[in-house]
Amino acid sequence: MGLEAWYMDSSDEDQRKLHRLNPNQPVSLEELQKLGVFYWKLDADIYETDPELEKIRKDQGYSYMDIISIHKDKLPNYEEKLKMFFEEHLHLDDEIRYILDGQAYFDVRNKEERWIRIAMRKGDLITLPAGIYHRFTLDETNYTKAMRLFVGEPVWKAYNRPADDFDIRQKYMASLQGS
């Protein structure tokens, strides 16, 4: 199955729930691409030797890689980190994540400020463009293991909203004008 995404409801129920509208309003891969979000489906069981992953890393210049397990028994300051990941923020660089196990959600804002929830499962690789407002959460399974990819040295700095006056945010917004 390919990537699944949908417009979110405005309920303040547990962030790990689906938060689908009724009826569901799906969002296509094409719509996500217009926002600068790109997706690949890979075989996570062979990530250490996968030629397809190697090619993507080479083509995109993703020289840095590490692996993070997000689970209460594996991640120090787990609760605090989850809260931080779910704060609406942007980065000055693209965010690249490859789900090796478990599942999670990325939420991104569209041009009209609506939240789109992207369900990430094992084998999903996604890139979020620098300057896009987004947040991350686990689903109700409370576990994911993800590869973090980066061009050059990693910079883990997040800028919580409001960050509209950042150059990267202005550039990102300008890139949406044509779409």
Domain architecture of the chain: domains with CATH: 33-172 (2.60.120.10)
Burial 20-54 (b: 16+ CB within 10 A, else e): eeeeeeebeeeebeebbbbbeebebeebeebeebe
Amino acid 2: pLDDT: 83
Amino acid 178: pLDDT: 73
Amino acid 177: pLDDT: 87
Is 134 known to sit in a ligand binding site? yes
Stated pTM of the model: 0.96
Mark the ranges of the chain whose per-residue pLDDT is less than 70: 1, 179
Number of H helices, E strands in the chain: 4, 10
How far is it, in rounded angstroms, from Cα 136 to Cα 129? Answer: 14
Is 89 known to sit in a ligand binding site? yes
Amino acid 1: pLDDT: 63
Amino acid 175: pLDDT: 96
Is 19 known to sit in a ligand binding site? no
